[in-house]
């Protein structure tokens, strides 16, 4: 993997010199040497020894990220600082786990008592929207783990950045935690810029949310594991349906607007899938090498088939330039699931072959469910490390997971870039081996 940034660009912006002794140091049984992380602790970006060697030979230090964790000296005085927390964009399993982890860490570990929950995403900052602020306490968040969604609600749609910063000033907020996807991180960057222009000391820390696991420089994002788990159940159901009828076809549409990680990973978890279609890999329907011919062959041989399609796959079938956008400017994808259902049904009808096709779209159910055990653990780490970073006065950064460690990544390094399934990766090759599907293109 190539990375087009320098070590200087991985440095995390500080609001100022951290001069306050962390209240954690006063806890009993704390080892000042072993229980804290220094700003000098780093995690290698690339662990390939050849790449490291090559950099050293060029006189450059290997690329690395700052390690997350509690600092001995912090920037904010816990007894005075006020924090705000907002969740934006689509729902994702684990949002409540993160809210809970942030609140508990702030309250019990640092002694921060003033934590504002902003309702319904960025709308919550805008006076005209009229959403009241929720005061977040340990009691309020104690039991939110079993409910999915976000206890604060969310929204899409642009809001005036200067009004958002006005609102932060009015509330005397020192730390803003923003949990959301690429759009939220763009908004967070603009909010941090406006804060800088006004010379305010407000830390903006992001926790990247992407159920599709597609954010650049984030090796794993929360909610993905849960999504794969539940998608696997849907595949199981589709397979049972398909096997139960002659020429049964189970067609499942999964999340994955630009990246097919959920579809590919769920397929490996439940290898009943015969065909996987993801945005990164082109495919044709018609012709000797198209999907329909392959499906017909499969039905002839085995009498049933399971197809998984990621929502962003096959958008070429809808022509270009006709896509509408949602309130936040995200392109509304055409529905490849319904399209495939129609085309498959029409194909077999025209050939006089009876089929029984069951279409399953579990997307909204998956997004809104609570996190599974793995994701809950992961969210706990993310939320607590976000608190450590923010209390230390770090800003314009997000908490990421990289090479098995939690790290700080400047927002500027991730915005506008996306992680995708490489056709040459072990993941995709194993999918091809597990399904035996080959390629569905007529172009060679």
Residues annotated as catalytic (active site), given as ranges: 212
**Of the ranges 129-137, 146-154, 255-263, 325-333, which one interacts with Mg ion (CB under 5 A)?**
325-333
Decide if residue 206 touches Mg ion (CB under 5 A).
no
State the DSSP H helix or E strand holding residue 395, giving kind and residue range, or none if neither: strand 394-395
Per rule CB under 6 A, is residue 94 in the interface with ligand ATP? no
Q: Which residue is nearest to ligand ATP (CB)?
A: 89
CB of 22 to ligand ATP, least distance (A): 31
Is 219 a residue that touches Mg ion (CB under 5 A)?
no
Q: Is 329 exposed, middle or buried (0-12, 13-18, 19+ CB in 10 A)?
A: exposed
Nearer to Mg ion, 211 or 371 (CB): 211
**Residue 70: which of 412, 404, 408, 403 has the closest Cα?**
408
Judged by beta carbon, residue 330 or residue 345, the one nearer Mg ion is 330
Which phi and psi (to 5°) does residue 15 adopt? -70, -25
Give the span between the Cα atoms of 398 and 376, in whole angstroms.
19
The window from 182-190, 279-287, 393-401, 418-426 that contacts ligand ATP (CB under 6 A) reads: 182-190
> In angstroms, rounded to a whole number, what is the distance separating the alpha carbons of residues 342 and 187?
39
- Give the Cα separation of 430 and 307 in Å (integer): 16
What CA–CA distance (Å, rounded) separates 380 from 99?
9
Task: List alpha helices for 351-425, DSSP H.
Answer: 363-368, 373-391, 411-414
Report 153-172 residues binding ligand ATP (CB under 6 A): 155-159
Q: Which does 210 bind (CB under 5 to 8 A by kind): Mg ion, ligand ATP, none?
A: ligand ATP
Binding ligand ATP by CB under 6 A: which of 62, 69, 89, 260? 89
Out of 96, 150, 203, 210, point to the residue binding ligand ATP (CB under 6 A). 210
Is 337 assigned a ligand-binding role in the annotation? no
* Contact residue for Mg ion among 163, 219, 330, 441 (CB under 5 A): 330
Q: How far apart are CA 201 and CA 203, in angstroms?
A: 7
Cβ at position 168, least distance to Mg ion in Å: 22
Binding-site partner at residue 190 among Mg ion, ligand ATP, none, CB < 5 to 8 Å by type: ligand ATP
Q: What letter does residue 215 receive in the DSSP assignment?
A: B
121 binds Mg ion (CB under 5 A): no
Work out the number of other CB atoms within 10 angstroms of the CB of residue 217: 21
Select the residue interacting with ligand ATP from 190, 289, 418, 439 (CB under 6 A).
190
- Beta carbons within 8 Å of 209's beta carbon, 6+ residues apart: 87, 89, 92, 95, 179, 180, 181, 184, 221, 222, 223
Asked if residue 328 binds ligand ATP (CB under 6 A), the reply is yes
- Eight-state DSSP code of residue 117: E
**In the complex, which residues of this chain contact ligand ATP (CB under 6 A)?**
88-90, 121-122, 155-159, 180-184, 186-187, 190, 210, 328, 330
Report the binding-site residues for Mg(2+). Answer: 182
**In the complex, which residues of this chain contact Mg ion (CB under 5 A)?**
181, 183, 330
């Amino acid at each position: 993997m190539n990375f087009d940034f320098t070590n200087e660009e991985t440095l995390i912006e500080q609001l100022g010199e951290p001069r306050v002794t962390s209240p954690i140091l006063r806890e009993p049984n704390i080892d000042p040497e072993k229980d804290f992380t220094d700003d000098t602790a780093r995690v290698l970006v690339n662990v390939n020894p050849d790449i490291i060697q090559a950099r050293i030979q060029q006189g450059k230090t290997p690329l690395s990220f700052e390690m997350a964790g509690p600092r001995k000296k912090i920037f904010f005085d816990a007894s005075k600082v006020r924090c705000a927390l907002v969740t934006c964009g689509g729902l994702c399993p684990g949002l409540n786990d993160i809210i809970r982890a942030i609140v508990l860490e702030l309250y019990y570990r640092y002694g921060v008592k003033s934590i504002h929950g902003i309702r319904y995403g960025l709308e919550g900052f805008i006076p005209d929207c009229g959403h009241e602020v929720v005061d977040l306490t340990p009691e309020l968040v104690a039991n939110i783990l079993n409910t999915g969604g976000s206890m604060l609600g969310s929204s899409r749609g642009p809001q005036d950045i200067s009004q958002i910063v006005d609102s932060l000033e009015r509330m005397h907020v020192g730390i803003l935690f923003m949990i959301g996807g690429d759009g939220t991180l763009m908004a967070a960057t603009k909010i941090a810029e406006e804060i800088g222009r006004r010379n305010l000391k407000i830390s903006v820390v992001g926790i990247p949310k992407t159920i599709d696991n597609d954010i650049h420089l984030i090796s794993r994002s929360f909610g993905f594991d849960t999504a794969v788990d539940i998608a696997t159940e849907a595949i199981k159901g589709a397979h049972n349906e398909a096997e139960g009828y002659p020429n049964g076809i189970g067609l499942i549409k999964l999340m994955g607007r630009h990246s097919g990680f959920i579809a590919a990973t769920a397929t490996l978890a439940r290898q009943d899938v015969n065909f996987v279609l993801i945005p990164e890999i082109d495919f044709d329907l018609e012709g000797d090498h198209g999907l329909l011919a392959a499906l017909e062959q499969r039905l002839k041989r085995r009498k049933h088939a399971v197809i998984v399609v990621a929502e962003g796959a096959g958008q070429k079938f809808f022509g270009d330039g006709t896509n509408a956008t949602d309130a936040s400017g995200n392109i509304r994808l055409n529905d490849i699931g319904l399209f495939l259902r129609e085309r498959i049904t029409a194909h077999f009808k025209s050939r006089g072959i009876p089929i029984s096709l069951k279409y399953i779209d579990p997307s909204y159910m998956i997004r809104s469910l609570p996190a599974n055990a793995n994701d809950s653990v992961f969210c706990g780490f993310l939320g607590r490390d976000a608190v450590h970073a923010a209390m230390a006065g770090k800003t314009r950064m997000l908490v990421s997971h990289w090479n098995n460690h939690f790290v700080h990544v400047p927002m500027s390094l991730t915005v506008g870039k996306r992680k995708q399934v490489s056709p040459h990766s072990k993941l995709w090759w194993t999918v091809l081996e597990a399904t035996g599907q080959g390629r569905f293109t007529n172009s060679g």
